[in-house]
Structures are given as structure tokens and as C-alpha cells.
Structure 1
């Protein structure tokens, strides 16, 4: 699996998400020991920058022409502002998304996209799985 993607997702989620209860609760067996060992994924080889153009109000607040990162909770609101949203950033057709914050035990999701993954794909998928 692509360690870079896993690390990016973990960092992205840790810095931008507010936990939200799911409408249909999913039992992740948080009491059981996790078989996931995050050390098994190796050394990161790259990162995927997530930048967006700020609207007028945001530009006044941050004083920049680009925002770094987005809120997963409100990701769909940022998609129109996302820089290079449709650029393929992961050529792999199969990846594993690992979410460990704010869970006691990490959970993983195997994802597949025959064309690779764009920034938009990643953001929407992470948002969906996180909820």
C-alpha cells in the first residue's frame, strides 16, 4: 500500500476534522486489538498538497492567495475553490485509507478507482469514510 497516502490522510484528518456522529452508526470493534500496524507501510516518498483559492472573506483573514488544507467536515463547500481538483495525484488503482483520529484503534478502507485518484476523489472519499 502507499504509505504516503496513508500518512497524508492521517495528517490531513488530524488537522482539519471535527468528529461528527454518523446517521447510521458503524461498529468498528474499537474494543478489539487492532491488527493494523502503521509502521508496516515504510517511509513516505511524497506528499499531496491540498490548496484552494480563498474567497474575499477568507483572503482578508489569512492574507494569502492560497489556503493550505480544507475542513473535511465542510469539504464539499471548498471543492469549487480547490486548486487542480481534477489532477490525478495517485496513479495507483487500489489504495488503503487508514483513519486513526479520534479513534482508539485505527480502521482501514480499501478503495479502488481504475483511473487513479484526483484531489477531488480523495477529499470526497475521505469525507465520506470519516463521517
Structure 2
């Protein structure tokens, strides 16, 4: 972990919550599903509302994953244009797959529905993100 993102005991001030809405194409009634299944993200990105909207204009962020891991993990991302819902979802999914391989653990038995991202700004101005996963 990069120490400049971990120089404080609390995540900082909550500055935003990013939600994910997906058009339901599997039921006859249609409608909107207010979450994205991380393991099916490749399929759900196609129906993700406001997928290309830049929701985090900052260029350097840290994302923390705790559920369903036994050992929480933080990873860092950089983008010269900021981060869209689509880019964030792709990166989070890739990290979940990587962690699954590293820990010889499959998340298929877990309900990994991403409801929202909680965006915090630290006292030093860094952006830290936690995942709101519906278990």
C-alpha cells in the first residue's frame, strides 16, 4: 500500500456516493436494477445507466475491498481524464478476479452485488473509495 493514502486512521470525509443502475433485460417487466453484480460486470456494463459519465474527476484514487475477502485489500488507480462508472466497474471486477486467483478463492458462492461506491476525501486531499456491497 502507498503510505500517502494511509496516513490517517479514518477514511476522511464522505464527499459523494456513486450508484449503479442497470436496465433489467432478463425479466418481461423490465425496469431498473439498483446494483451491478461484479462477477457479471462484462454483461451488465452493456445496460449500465450513465456508464461513460465521469463521476470522479480526480486522477489518482485508492479503492479498498473488504468483503468477501479474509484480508482487506487496497489498490490504486490513475486516469488522466478521471473515472467513469464503466471504468471503475471494469477495474473493480479485474481486481476481484485477480484476488480470487491469488487467494485460491472463488467468489462465485458469494453474492457480490455492488450497490454504490462511497467516496471519501482525506485530510491530505486524497480520494479513497470503499465498496457498498449487498451481501
What band does the TM-score fall into relative to the shorter chain? Answer: 0.5 to 0.7
- Aligned partner of 2:82 in structure 1 is 116
Paired residues, what number?
92
| 1:46 CA displacement | 1.6
The answer to whether residue 27 in structure 2 is matched with residue 58 in structure 1 is yes
CA distance in 1, matches of 2:8, 2:96: 18
| 1:37 CA displacement | 8.9
Q: Secondary structure at the match of 1:92?
A: coil
Q: Secondary structure at the match of 2:14?
A: coil
Mapping of residues 15-30 of structure 1, within 5 Å = none
**Unmatched 5+ stretches in structure 2:** 1-5, 98-135
- Aligned partner of 2:14 in structure 1 is 44
Q: Which has the larger strand fraction?
A: 2
Aligned match of 1:85 in 36, 51, 69?
A: 51
Q: Which has the larger helix fraction?
A: 1
- Aligned partner of 1:18 in structure 2 is none
Q: What TM-score, normalized to structure 2?
A: 0.62
| 1:104 CA displacement | 2.4
The answer to whether residue 62 in structure 2 is matched with residue 96 in structure 1 is yes
Moved over 6 A (4+): none
Q: What TM-score, normalized to structure 1?
A: 0.63
